């Protein structure tokens, strides 16, 4: 046999230069170009994610809508609330933000998807829920709180409190909810956090005076 005839004839045929093999990256240039066009969204998206995480777990902004905490907090003040403070670490005189729906037996309005999204955006600017309250801690777990001493002052463990931070004629506190479920007491799980700092207006920028509560013995001491 002629050895040259043993070689398949197709081995000597040059490839068709006009044909192309299917590429596994077909369409990739278009997708890459689209990714480049939208990569400017990455920065804002990461920033928004960081804001959401910080707000949910570390620090949350709130606005003051009423006179209930005058003169410590005024209408229009903007505050930051530290969410890392455990309820067990709170002291008498601390100012906290809490969900009052259970403690004050408040009705929580039903919200649709659109309203929920709107409120989520508004919350980034410091607008809280209608059931979010800001108040000062007077009694701690185990304390015996009584209203009131003969002179009208609040008693904690038999000690009448002097509260110079309370302005006359302001909104009611837990004493107005003694007949509600829970007796107006706020469960620790409902506390959102401790007021940390006021960031607006700039003329009042700084820490919020937590107030001085007279020394009160522990219940039973």
Give catalytic residues, as residue numbers.
Answer: 68, 135
Interatomic CA distance for residues 122 and 45, integer angstroms: 17
**Secondary structure element (H or E) that encloses residue 91, with its range:** none
3-state helix, strand, coil in the chain (%, to 5): 30, 20, 55
Alpha-carbon span 67 to 205, nearest angstrom? 19
Residue 219, classified by CB atoms within 10 Å of its CB into exposed (0-12), middle (13-18) or buried (19+), is middle
Return the DSSP state at 105.
T
CA 189 to CA 61: how far, in whole Å? 19
């Amino acid at each position: 046999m002629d050895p040259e005839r043993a070689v398949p004839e197709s081995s000597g045929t040059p490839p068709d230069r006009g044909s192309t093999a299917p590429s596994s990256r077909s369409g990739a240039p278009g997708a890459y170009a689209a990714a480049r066009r939208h990569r400017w969204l990455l920065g804002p998206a990461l920033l928004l994610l960081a804001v959401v995480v910080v707000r949910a777990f570390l620090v949350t902004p709130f606005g003051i809508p009423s006179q209930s905490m005058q003169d410590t907090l005024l209408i229009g003040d903007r505050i930051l609330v530290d969410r890392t403070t455990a309820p067990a670490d709170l002291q008498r005189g601390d100012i906290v933000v809490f969900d009052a729906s259970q403690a004050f037996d408040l009705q929580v309005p039903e919200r649709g998807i659109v309203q929920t999204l709107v409120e989520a955006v508004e919350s980034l600017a410091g607008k809280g829920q209608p059931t979010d309250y800001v108040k000062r801690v007077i009694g701690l777990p185990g304390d015996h709180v009584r209203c009131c001493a003969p002179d009208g002052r609040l008693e904690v463990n038999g000690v009448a409190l002097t509260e110079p931070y309370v302005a006359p004629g302001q909104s009611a506190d837990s004493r107005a909810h003694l007949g509600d479920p829970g007796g107006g007491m706020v469960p620790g799980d409902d506390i959102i956090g401790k007021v940390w700092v006021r960031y607006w207006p700039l003329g009042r920028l700084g820490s919020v005076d937590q107030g001085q509560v007279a020394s009160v013995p522990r219940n039973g001491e």
